[in-house]
Structure 1
Amino acid sequence: MDLTINGARLNVEVLEPTNGDPDAPVLIAHHGGGGIGSLAEPKATFGPLHDRFRVIVFDSRGCGRSEGVGPYTHEQWAADVDGLRQWAGVEQIVVAGGSYGGFIALEYAVRYPEHVSAIILRDTSADGTNLELAFENARNQDRVEINWDHFNRYWGGQTRSDEELKSLWAELIPLYDYEYDEEKSTAAVEAGIYRHEAHNACFVDNFPTYDLKPDLPGIAVPTLVTVGRGDWVTPVSASETIARLIPDAKLVVFEKSGHSPQVEEREKFQQTLRDFLARAVPVAATV
């Protein structure tokens, strides 16, 4: 469905709870990828939880099939999450996000703490230092030969068209999986929706000043931090920092995954989600 949130038309999907609970807790999940992401990823990851949650996924402004209305800032993207919370008619939500979506989930938790009951993070970082590690990891890998002009243009937010963004992403995607599957990666590139303006804003306007580490000790809700052992772009050390700084955080490392344990170790990831949510948002609290 299309919803107008804070002046932008957003593409939104709502998975209603199959248990029929009219007061089911709400989980809002933000996709990763900036201008290369869409609701497809969080829908696949968190959709199975709609047996007892009302799961809301969406294309953020400037991404996927949502309207390209700025500003493309962390503040605005977090405000859009809160706009969806208000539309859903609830005071508190479980907020979730992976990769760049984890930046926005953390941003939301810091800016709207009274509206958060729990946080789920996947392969993300609390500041921009992960990109320094990613450059080092890219230099040290032997899976693919890096075109450094293209690499720097991608991460520097200098893409010039949606088509170029797709092309640059196709060069990078072999780095992301624990075990590279060329056919699967090619299909993923073709299935993507590319929005270079939002992508550029991520790395020109937002990333240089992104640092939530000083705010994390103030987060007072249960937090699940997940990461793949082989993640090259948001390495395990970035998740360890988050888990160390948030008082009630649980870190789970997926040993046979890269950047996407929700795909590469799906069964274990789903069970990890359910075990965490059984503690963080118990059924007794919703009836």
Structure 2
Amino acid sequence: MGSVFRREITVGYEDEGSGEPLVLVHGHPFNRSMWRPQTEYFSRAGRRVIAPDLRGYGDSTMPPGTTAAPGASATPDATPLATFARDLVDLLDHLGIERCALGGLSMGGQIVMECYRLFPERISALLLADTFAAAETPDGKTARYDMAERLLREGMADYAHEVLDKMVSPDTITARPDVAAHVLEMMATTPPEGAAAALRGRAERPDYTELLPRITVPTLIVVGTEDTYTPVSDALHLHERIPDSRLTIIEQAAHMPNLEQPHTFNAALHEFLNSLPKAAETTAASTSAATAPQG
């Protein structure tokens, strides 16, 4: 675990293992602990795994002036996806990583697409999990802005309980209450200011549909069969438009298959990473967590 002060914020992150870098970007409203099964598995499987907290989530802070004093209302600016993307590249620079396999889930997947739009030379492969490429609809924009106001006004707890059975499947809630509890805790403890700023930024995100056919790195797309936020049809849309992409559909999982069915998720990602041509792998493999500068 480490932290670094970059561009007026402190970024918390995990940096485990050594070998080819794999960077994992969490979704909303979670934190880097959502990738714990992948961090543990792939760091033992010969990868260097970096999982950061996005600004305003987990241990990462917001810029000065975007949080409210106790008892006061907070109206933080939006956090555009491009800002998240630049934070990630700043972290890669800090860690001495020139290129990496980059993956994200939900909002994290859209941040990954934004990274590819802005910094394709830094990316050797993509993982897009339970995400979609289209810009927000007018109704969707209104809903995100309204939700941002609600979270600032009421906090995260009620929202977290309301959406739990969409984030993870009913089967998961029954059979794996530890996973459901972890997801609920992540949502309930996310700072409302960070979540609200991200919602506003995501409402104004670009349309990545035209980017998809221009993706030239190996890409794995993963989705849970019971995901209602980003259903299988969204994953098929990505798969049909990204050249030579792979698609894995995971049964008995909703929006978080990496936590609900970690063995299946890890197996698919492991096979994908092992299939990458060596020419696509970053030369930063020799830069291990032990030798990288630490914050």
Give the TM-score normalised by structure 1. Answer: 0.81
- Equivalent pair of 2:22/2:102 in contact (CA under 8 Å): yes
The Cα of 1:167 is off from its aligned counterpart by 1.4
User: 2:183 aligned with 1:188, yes or no?
Assistant: yes
Matched, 1:61 2:68: no
Change (3 A) 1:79 1:187: closer
Q: Which residue of 2 aligns with 1:168?
A: 159
Given that 1:74 and 1:104 are in contact with CA atoms closer than 8 Å, whether structure 2 keeps it comes out as yes
Residue identity in the other structure for 2:32: L
**2:35 aligned with 1:38:** no
Q: CA deviation at 1:10?
A: 0.7
Distance, in Å, in 2 between the alignment partners of 1:225 and 1:215 is 15
In structure 1, what is the equivalent of residue 67 of structure 2?
A: none
Contact in 2 for aligned 1:229/1:253 (Cα 8 Å): yes
Greater RCO (Cα-Cα under 8 Å, separation 6 or more): 2
Q: Per-residue deviation at 1:2? A: 1.7
Give the distance between the partners of 1:77 and 1:96, measured in 2 at CA: 14
Matched, 1:95 2:96: no
**3-state DSSP class of the match of 2:149?**
coil
Q: Indicate yes or no: 2:6 matched with 1:25.
A: no
Q: Percent identity?
A: 25
The CA distance in 2 between the partners of 1:189 and 1:131, in whole Å, is 29
Q: Following TM superposition, by how much is the alpha carbon of 1:191 offset from its aligned partner in structure 2, in angstroms?
A: 4.7
For the structure 1 residues 281 and 105, does the alpha-carbon distance in structure 2 shift closer, same or farther, using more than 3 Å as the test? farther
Shift of 1:188: 3.3
Q: Is the 8 A contact 1:154 1:168 kept in 2?
A: no
Aligned to 2:229: 233
User: How many residues end up aligned between the 2 structures?
Assistant: 262
Distance 1:131 1:173 in 2: 25
Q: Aligned-residue CA RMSD in angstroms? A: 2.8
Q: Deviations over 1:20-57 (max 9, x none)?
A: xxxx2111111111xx2111012333431113111111
Please tell me whether residue 254 in structure 1 is matched to residue 261 in structure 2: no
* One-letter identity of the residue aligned with 1:52: G
Residue 159 of structure 1 contacts residue 196 of structure 1 at CA under 8 Å; is this kept in 2? no
- Which aligned pairs between 1:203-218 and structure 2 lie closer than 5 A? 203-218=199-214
> Do 1:154 and 1:165's aligned partners in 2 also have CA atoms closer than 8 Å?
no
> How far apart in 2 are the matches of 1:252 and 1:155?
34
2:82 is aligned, of 65, 75, 88, to 75
The secondary structure found in structure 1 opposite 2:228 is coil
State the distance in 1 between where 2:155 and 2:15 align. Answer: 32
Q: 1:6 to 1:236 in 2, by over 3 A?
A: same
Distance apart, 1:95 and its partner CA: 0.6
SS in structure 2 at match of 1:29 = strand
> Partners in 2 of 1:196 and 1:236 — Cα distance?
30
**Equivalents in 2 of 1:153, 1:274: separation in Å?**
35
Q: Distance in 2 between matches of 1:154 and 1:172?
A: 17
Instruction: Give SS of 1:161's match.
Output: helix
